[in-house]
Amino acid sequence: MHQVLVVKDKRYTQHLDGIFHLENPKRIKAIHTMLQDPSLAGRWSEVIPRLASPEELAWVHTPDYIEQVALTAGKPLFAFDLDTQTTETSYDTARLAVGGVFSLIDEIYKEKANRGFAFVRPPGHHAEPDKAMGFCLFNNTALGARYLTHHWGAKRVMIIDIDAHHGNGTQAAFYDTDEVLYTSWHQFPGYPGTGKLGEVGRGNGEGYTVNVPLPRGHGDRDFARIIYFLLKPVALDYRPDMILVTCGFDLYQHDRLAEMQGTPAGYAMITHLLLDIAESVCGGRIVFIMEGGYSIKGIQECGLRVMQELCDIPSLNGKQLTKIKETNISRFSVLKKVMEVQRKYWRTLR
């Protein structure tokens, strides 16, 4: 049985508390309820998050932008745009979200465990270096990757973004570097409008951005095929020091802001396959970081299946995985096109 580390904190409910918003404190409360499921008893350990410093935030964000967010502290309500607001404690809560990712990474590098989940909010992958957007203030995953390279000396970090929306901010942070490989599958067309097939990076980063834009309606088997036939071969070629998973629960079929057909069983399969990649390339070191997901039922049910897989509680039918591996991908036109684009950069796809 693997030891699983978990970042959770009641302070994550303070952001937008009392404000009508889809990205609200009920999302964290749903996680706390899920973690009390009897199947998880005694199988995970809590990690206490710390506040990220302004200097650490500047690894991804501009000083002017960090100051803009800091100046919202103490204000009852401030709007960066129609979607993205702050309340009195949002600045510190967002710093705590980033710091929660840092704290979890620290524990893994101290060899307390090799896997964990940071259940944090506000989410982060839409936050660009100089702009808040899409409910996001600071880019938790991008900053986690920079923490790995700056603090722990990681040479290569792989980000796998499984949120239903493209992580424009994360892509922007690493578009011109090979230190971080950003991969994403997401609904397209859809918010925020980025993540096209031809967005592959530039300069030293050319080939280190892998986008899989999916029309609405794709489901569990398609997500699993993307991991098995595309992301695993790329990971075997890249050999990252750690994998960070930007984990949105909005692939769920009844999510309020996306139109995918994912199920809790699909999240179990996704997690199982991602753990297999981590074991194959980086000694099992993998961190999941909570992003979107706007169905409370979806967060609880999909989150439970992710945690059960992390805790080595088997729930998958072996025949399901066999069917994935025996798929004729020529029938999956989007994946086929992505592989044709990426073959130029990854020998394992040739």
Q: Catalytic positions, please? A: 126
CB 100 within 8 A of CB 122: no
For residues 134 and 15, give the distance between their C-alpha atoms in angstroms, rounded to a whole number.
15
Task: Tell me which long-range contacts 51-57 makes (C-beta under 8 A, separation of at least 24).
Answer: 51/92, 51/95, 51/96, 51/99, 52/95, 52/96, 52/98, 52/99, 52/102, 52/138, 52/143, 53/95, 56/98, 56/102, 56/143, 56/147, 57/95, 57/98, 57/138, 57/143
CB 39 within 8 A of CB 350: no
Query: Helices marked H in 216-293 — which ranges?
Result: 220-226, 232-238, 264-281
**Residues pairing with 286 in the sheet:** 115, 243
